[in-house]
């Protein structure tokens, strides 16, 4: 009988209490990884961990504010003590941030969005890397967005944060060359989450980001569910090493990654 693809791996997932983080936690746990579900929302992460354990997985809930170094250190220490060394890190924690034109939005709110997306990823990566380097093994998956690849007027907080996360991924991969540590930035698709519901309910979004609102309104539950399954499949593929040759790149769930992999291997 074939062992689960991620048996023996330990994953730490930020923003794991709902939405994309919950979907990824379910996928990695289902593939055999032990999972630390981390977020500030203690009740939500406790429920996710309990559900995963009820399905036969091995999961714990870890309270964590990714913008606070001490909180990150404590969360990782707890996960390592209960589950073992972290070999998979998923930097998923994020917020929409203020919507509106620069010069007319709250600067503190704008900077807070950068802190959650970028500082959070940097703190968690900094905490995870020493163990990965000691083991010469690890994979880091940063949840980016298509919004980080183009100009999104009036949504600069989110778009700039995701663009920065993509560049951070590229630098991390370059610096880890020669080690068996891989980093990826992925576009998870358009999935209906609490964040998307909040955006749709936002007067600022409707006033200043009509294309975003129109996109979210066009997504059917069926399309959202299909994107969720693609995200889960890609998360397992990346965590298991299937696409290691594409490390350092921005990857979209709708791209033909096997074809990209074959091209990459041929050109190597």
Name the residue ranges covered by the structural domains of the chain: 10-192+225-267
CA atoms within 13 A on the CB side of 16: 35
The residues, any chain, with a CB within 8 Å of residue 241's CB and separated by 6 or more, are 139, 182
The one catalytic residue in 76, 158, 184, 243 is 158
Are 215 and 153 in contact by the 8 Å Cβ rule? The answer is no
Are 168 and 121 in contact by the 8 Å Cβ rule? The answer is yes
| Cβ atoms within 10 Å of 202's Cβ, excluding its own | 17
58-62, 133-137, 168-172, 220-224, range with the lowest pLDDT: 220-224
Confidence band, pLDDT 50/70/90 cuts, at residue 1: very low
Q: Is 250 a catalytic site residue?
A: no
Residue 72 in this model has a pLDDT that exceeds 70: yes
Per residue in 28-50, pLDDT tens? 999 999 999 999 999 999 999 99
Note the pTM of the prediction, 2 decimals: 0.94
Would you say the C-alpha torsion 55, 58, 63, 65 has a positive or negative sign? negative
CATH of domain 10-192+225-267: 3.40.50.720
Question: What are the Cα distances from residue 134, in Å, to 185, 189, 214, 245?
Answer: 23, 34, 47, 21
Q: Identify the pLDDT of residue 268.
A: 66
| Cβ atoms within 10 Å of 81's Cβ, excluding its own | 9
Q: Measured between alpha carbons, how far apart are the two ends of the chain, in Å?
A: 34
């Amino acid at each position: 009988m074939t062992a689960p693809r991620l048996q023996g791996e330990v994953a730490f997932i930020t923003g794991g209490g709902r939405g994309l983080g919950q979907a990824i936690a379910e996928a990695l746990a289902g593939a055999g990884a032990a999972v630390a579900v981390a977020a500030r929302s203690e009740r939500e992460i406790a429920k996710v961990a309990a559900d995963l354990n009820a399905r036969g997985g091995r999961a714990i809930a870890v309270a964590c504010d990714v913008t606070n170094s001490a909180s990150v250190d404590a969360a990782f220490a707890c996960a390592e003590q209960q589950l073992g060394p972290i070999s998979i890190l998923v930097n998923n924690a994020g917020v929409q941030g203020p919507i509106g034109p620069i010069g007319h939005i709250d600067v503190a709110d704008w900077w807070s969005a950068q802190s959650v997306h970028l500082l959070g990823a940097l703190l968690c990566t900094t905490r995870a890397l020493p163990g990965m380097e000691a083991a010469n093994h690890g994979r880091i998956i940063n949840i980016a967005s298509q919004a980080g690849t183009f100009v999104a007027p009036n949504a600069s907080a989110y778009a700039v944060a995701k663009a920065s996360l993509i560049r951070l991924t590229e630098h991390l991969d370059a610096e880890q060359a020669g080690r068996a540590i891989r980093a990826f930035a992925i576009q998870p698709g358009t999935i209906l989450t609490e964040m998307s519901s909040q955006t749709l309910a936002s007067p600022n979004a409707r006033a200043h980001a009509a294309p975003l609102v129109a996109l979210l309104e066009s997504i059917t539950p069926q399309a959202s569910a299909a994107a969720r399954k693609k995200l889960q499949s890609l998360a397992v593929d990346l965590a298991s090493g299937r696409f290691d040759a594409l490390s350092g790149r921005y990857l979209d769930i709708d791209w033909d990654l096997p074809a990209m992999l074959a091209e990459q291997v041929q050109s190597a």
